[in-house]
Structure 1
Amino acid sequence: MALDTARLHHLAWQHASKVPAPLLRGAAALGADVATLLRPAGVRRLATNLARVRPDAGPRELRRLVRRAMRSYMRYFGEVFVLASATPEQVAARVRVEGRDECTRALATGTSPVVALTHQGNWDLAGVWASTHLAPVTTVAERLEPPALYEDFMVFRESLGMTILTAGDDGVFRALLRVAAAPGRLVCLLADRDLSRTGVQVDLLGHPARVAPGPAAVAVATGAPLLPAGIFYERLTGARRRAAGTPWGIVIRFHPAVEVPTDGTPAERLRTTTQGWVDALAHDIHEHPEDWHMLQKVFVADLDPERLARAEARP
């Protein structure tokens, strides 16, 4: 009998907060280890992606890396299911930020930065923290299947204070432009996957890859600063661990704003700007590969050639 994914997630959101935290963390780690052993399609794709991130890793090292990556991925889900019950003090203790000055200066002048993100660490925790400590967050979410699962994720993220737009809906890009033009907001976009199949081809760690055009497109169109931000886990100890209520926290690392060229065609400016944020976040992915939760195709060598040809033929 097939698993009802939406029902399982719904039950987890309802009851995970009642489970003792050590037991929940143990269950997440066990699920990660079982998945690593069974190697379903997503785990095999993760292994292929990580092999490109760390090409010098031997088979044994790569297996260990995949295991750590699956534990990181399942840790994310375990944290998401109880995030709504975390206090503001716990959220603050779980997050450490590097390089935020450029972002806070922009917000202080009434500018709304665009933040380019990858699927690293716990991006939902980062969004909750940013909504409270920086500015209200607007983001775009992938439409998940089945619809009930997507609705649960929408309700969850909006309950945490984020404004969620749906990828593929009419008017999403115009809505992002309006937000970026308004004062005191953050446009945070997970962009290391080309959900539209009309993405931008870049060099990612020495390999051709296709990523979403959103962050660069909004920055080019509005003049808003484009700040890449990496997210990765770190172990907590002492007083901070007690305040956080968990042994794991995240680091949000803001990189300097990407220079947006003023010369060239719109397509050239888009490509150059996209490569700029990809270069910045590639460093974080290489440094913390176990926290890059990429179980889907992103590198050109793995994409369907016919679909890729159709995408490249579009203007």
Structure 2
Amino acid sequence: MKLTNRIVDAGFWVGWNALWLLPGALSYRIFDSIAVVCLRMRVKGVRQLELNLSRVMDQEPDSLVVRQTARTAMRSYMRYYCETFLLPRWSEKQLLDKVRAENVHNIEHAMSTGGVILTLPHSGNWDHAGAWAAKHFGSMCTVAERLRPEGVFQKFLKMRTGRGMTIMPLTGAGGTYEFLRDNVNQGRLVALLGDRDIAKNGMSNLFFGYRASLPIGAAVLAIDTGRPLFTCAPWYDGETLVIDFDQEVEFDRTPVQGRDRLRKAQEVTAQVVSRFEQHIQRHPENWHQLQPVWPDLVVNDA
């Protein structure tokens, strides 16, 4: 294993095994300090975040408003890591009390008749939201990006399964789509992140007015199973994680195959993306997207 991978692996081990021993306020201060250091060093992720936010806010990347929003977003992102490290140690009461679910009746009604598909952007704390959903709805199935080094991926996998989530690696395992489809058909909630084409098999859609390759998995699942598709977006309101559930995404449920299936998936995904835009514009400081989304907005280290 490379030295950098060993350092990352060790850092995550400390996070999950030692952070909970510290007073809560100190844990948050440590991660807030990490965010400040990253901002001062202007690491690649910070610069990419500024580029992404500049498109959301229709401002220049070096404008004061983008820089200030990126600063808040980076501190929010480090809060995500802090709370994700603490998540395995939280009691059930802590897990539930730290969440405010808005319009949850939309999805509860749909789940009374079978499985449901939910898609969301990388905002707030999606791991906390997933753990809450697993407890509230009785199930939560998803796929996970295969992080490197492998030890980090395994630690995330252990944390998520320990909080009641059923996880399938996004790559390297095979049968991912069948796993998700079967879980929907068995009456479970399947949740998928939908604002970045991690698997590199998405389709082109307009996102904040510019073309980006975005995942169509949630739309395809809804089309193939005939089950409802919903969107939501977690965001922080003070010490509370708010999960804002939207109305069901409406589309023609007539079964289709081949090119018609892909065309419909692209159309349904366009509706999803439109909702993501609204959520992200309302809370840009909670959008933790430090990776390239648009092909024309990529940090150049040359």
**TM-score of the superposition, structure 1-length normalised?**
0.88
Q: Which runs of 5+ in 2 are unaligned?
A: none
- Write the letter of the residue equivalent to 1:251: V
Q: Mean Cα displacement is larger for which, 57-66 or 87-96?
A: 57-66
**CA distance in 2 between partners of 1:232 and 1:164 (Å):** 23
**CA positional deviation for 1:124:** 0.9
Structure 1 residue 303: deviation in Å?
6.5
SS of 2:143's equivalent? strand
Task: Tell me the number of residue pairs that the alignment of Structure 1 and Structure 2 aligns.
Answer: 290
Alignment root-mean-square deviation, CA: 1.6
Contact preservation (8 Å) 1:262, 1:269: no
What per-residue deviation string (whole Å, max 9, x for no partner) do you get for residues 152-173 of structure 1? 1111110111000011231000
Q: Does 1:48 align with 2:39?
A: no
User: Does 2:63 align with 1:72?
Assistant: no
Map of 1:270 onto structure 2 = 265
Are 1:219 and 2:222 matched, yes or no?
yes
Structure 1 residue 196, shift from structure 2 partner: 1.9
SS of structure 1 residue aligned to 2:296: helix
Choose which of 218, 232, 236 in structure 2 pairs with 1:229: 232
Matching residue's letter, 2:111: L
C-alpha distance in 2 between matches for 1:170 and 1:85: 32
Unmatched segments (≥5 aa) in structure 1? 236-247, 305-315
Q: State the match for 2:281 in structure 1.
A: 286
Counterpart position of 2:212:
209
Secondary structure of the residue aligned to 2:90 is coil
Residues 168-207 of structure 1: pairs in structure 2 closer than 5 A? 168=171, 169-183=173-187, 185-207=188-210
Q: Measure the CA separation in 2 of the matches of 1:43 and 1:234.
A: 23
2:20 matched to which residue of 1?
A: 17
Q: Tell me how far apart the structure 2 counterparts of residues 4 and 201 of structure 1 sit (CA, whole Å).
A: 37
Change (3 A) 1:66 1:303: closer
Give me the TM-score of the superposition, normalised by structure 2.
0.92
Instruction: After TM superposition, give the deviation of residue 61 of structure 1 in Å.
Output: 1.5
Q: Paired residue for 2:87?
A: 83
TM-fit CA distance, 1:262 = 4.4
* Letter of the 1:70 counterpart: M
- Give the aligned partner of residue 254 of structure 1: 245
Are the equivalent residues in 1 in contact too, given 2:59–2:66 (CA < 8 A)?
A: no
Aligned partner of 1:312 in structure 2 is none
Q: Per-residue displacement from partner, 1:293-312 (whole Å, max 9, x unpaired)?
A: 101011132369xxxxxxxx
